[in-house]
């Protein structure tokens, strides 16, 4: 009797052929639904990818167009002076534009959604004020004609979190450029340091391009230099700018007078130095005499004046214990590797030292670009 009960239960658990067919049809329908969903998501992904590619293409085209226009009369109207040191001297807080300096004419802009806001005081450059202006006009992009007498760091530190700097350009009067560099060097460095292009307008025929080139390259090796002449024609700086050391040598020797140029080039193009053997003179800085991985070696560098002198070192790792101490002058040889290190708070050049020699200090202990 018990056996018959089990057999009956087993028979009841076996589905009939009709139920199996229904389940199969249901699964086929579900598979078709999933395939449709996957296709729709793939199509959406492809559209998004295409849109992103179009966005990147438009961004590149807009940036290229900005460079092309930068040296034309059009930009002279759209951006009369983004950063003209001569005109900046005429601006004082609350003072109106002096005679002979044209103001922006909004009617000359293409489109209607163009607005002009004036900031008369450096104190007004703060996140709250800039955010409020952005919300007021529901901005898509902003062009800032910055007062050359204000340090750019004020702007950098006070940009709203959702803002980002797309491009920096500097405009200056070619007739007074060298004089301003001599008398207002700190402001000149501040404006040239991150600019992608400097446009020298009102360029005279007898301009000393070598002198201009030296000033710009002493601050930035990447800034394009453009000369805009009164008759409307434009010339580009084509002076060759080779490094004063051979990066293709088995060991790249950095002369004492070239440390500032070396360190700036290293900072601007880290990948170029990855794996290179280099040799240079430096002063040691270390906090922990027992650690072999937290030793810094470098030089103090002056960019424009005594106020901006700063220590520009590299992290050094010694394979063996070293007795070097802070303020020792040495000539180091080693291989540069790009690695994460806590002293950089990210990736930076780490020198794996292979040779150390005590050295006398260089003739000029503070490295400069001149």
Instruction: Domain ranges for the chain, please list them.
Output: 2-55, 71-236, 252-367
DSSP of 38-85: HHHHHHHHHHHHHHHHHHHHHHHHHHHHHHHHHTSHHHHHHSS-SS-H
Residues 233 and 246: their CA atoms lie apart, in Å, by 37
Per-residue pLDDT, 90 = 43
The values of phi and psi at residue 299, to 5°, are -135, 155
Residues 192 and 223: their CA atoms lie apart, in Å, by 8
Read off the pLDDT band of 8 (50, 70, 90).
very low
Q: Is the pLDDT of residue 273 over 70?
A: yes
Residues 200 and 358: their CA atoms lie apart, in Å, by 47
CB neighbours of residue 85 within 10 Å: 23
Per-residue pLDDT, 302 = 87
Percent of the chain with pLDDT over 90: 46
Instruction: Give tens-digit pLDDT for 168-210.
Output: 999 999 999 999 999 998 999 999 988 999 999 999 999 999 9
Per-residue pLDDT, 98 = 41
Residues 170 and 174: their CA atoms lie apart, in Å, by 12
Per-residue pLDDT, 341 = 87
Token digits of residue 167: 């491009």
Q: Is the pLDDT of residue 259 over 70?
A: yes
Q: Read off the pLDDT of each residue in 109-115 and give the average, rounded to a whole number.
A: 76
- Do the beta carbons of residue 159 and residue 127 sit within 8 Å? yes
Q: Which residue has the higher pLDDT, 287 or 315?
A: 315
Say if domain 252-367 classifies as CATH 2.40.50.140: yes
Residues 276 and 259: their CA atoms lie apart, in Å, by 16
Q: Is the pLDDT of residue 330 over 70?
A: yes
Buried b (16+ CB within 10 A) or exposed e, 174-208: beebbebbeebbebbbbbbeebbbbbbbbbeeebe
Q: Read off the pLDDT of each residue in 154-159 and give the average, rounded to a whole number.
A: 92
Residue 336 pairs in a beta bridge with 351
Instruction: Give tens-digit pLDDT for 12-55.
Output: 455 566 667 777 777 777 777 777 777 666 665 555 555 545 54
Question: How does the average pLDDT of the chain come out, rounded?
Answer: 80
- What pTM was estimated for this model as a whole? 0.51
Residues 3 and 83: their CA atoms lie apart, in Å, by 99
DSSP 296: E
Read off the pLDDT band of 291 (50, 70, 90).
low
Token digits of residue 243: 């490094």
Residues 6+ apart with CB under 8 A from 339: 347, 348, 350
Integer angstrom CA distances of residue 66 from 56, 62, 122, 155, 196: 15, 6, 27, 22, 11
Token digits of residue 257: 């007078």
Per-residue pLDDT, 240 = 80
- DSSP SS3 for 21: helix
Residues 60 and 316: their CA atoms lie apart, in Å, by 39
């Amino acid at each position: 009797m018990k056996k018959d009960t089990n057999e009956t239960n087993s028979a009841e658990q076996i589905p009939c052929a009709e139920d199996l067919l229904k389940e199969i049809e249901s699964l086929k329908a579900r598979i078709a639904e999933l395939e449709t969903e996957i296709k729709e998501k793939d199509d959406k992904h492809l559209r998004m990818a295409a849109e992103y590619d179009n966005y990147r293409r438009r961004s590149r085209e807009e940036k290229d167009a900005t460079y092309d226009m930068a040296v034309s009369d059009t930009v002279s109207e759209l951006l009369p002076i983004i950063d003209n040191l001569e005109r900046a001297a005429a601006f004082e807080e609350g003072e109106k534009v002096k005679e002979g300096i044209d103001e922006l004419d909004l009617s000359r802009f293409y489109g209607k959604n163009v607005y002009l806001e004036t900031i008369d005081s450096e104190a007004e450059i703060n996140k709250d004020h800039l955010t409020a202006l952005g919300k007021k006009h529901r901005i898509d992009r902003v062009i800032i004609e910055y007062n050359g007498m204000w340090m750019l760091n004020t702007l950098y530190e006070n940009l709203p979190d959702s803002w980002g700097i797309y491009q920096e350009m500097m405009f200056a009067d070619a007739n007074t450029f060298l004089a301003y560099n001599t008398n207002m060097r700190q402001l000149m460095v501040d404006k040239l340091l991150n600019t992608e292009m400097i446009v020298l307008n009102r360029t005279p025929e007898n301009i000393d391009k070598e002198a201009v080139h030296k000033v710009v390259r002493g601050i930035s090796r990447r800034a394009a230099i453009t000369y805009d002449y009164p008759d409307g024609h434009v010339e580009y700086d084509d002076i060759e700018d080779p490094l004063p050391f051979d990066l293709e040598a088995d060991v790249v020797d950095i002369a004492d007078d070239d440390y500032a140029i070396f360190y700036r080039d290293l900072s601007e193009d880290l990948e170029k130095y990855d794996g290179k053997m280099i040799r240079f003179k430096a002063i040691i800085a270390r906090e922990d005499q027992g650690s072999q991985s937290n030793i810094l070696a470098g030089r103090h560098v002056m960019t424009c004046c005594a106020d901006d002198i700063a220590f520009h070192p590299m992290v050094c790792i010694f394979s063996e214990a070293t007795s070097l101490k802070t303020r020792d002058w040495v000539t180091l040889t080693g291989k540069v590797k790009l690695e994460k290190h806590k002293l950089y708070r990210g990736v930076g050049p780490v020198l794996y030292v292979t040779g150390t020699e005590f050295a006398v200090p260089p003739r000029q202990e503070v490295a400069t670009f001149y």
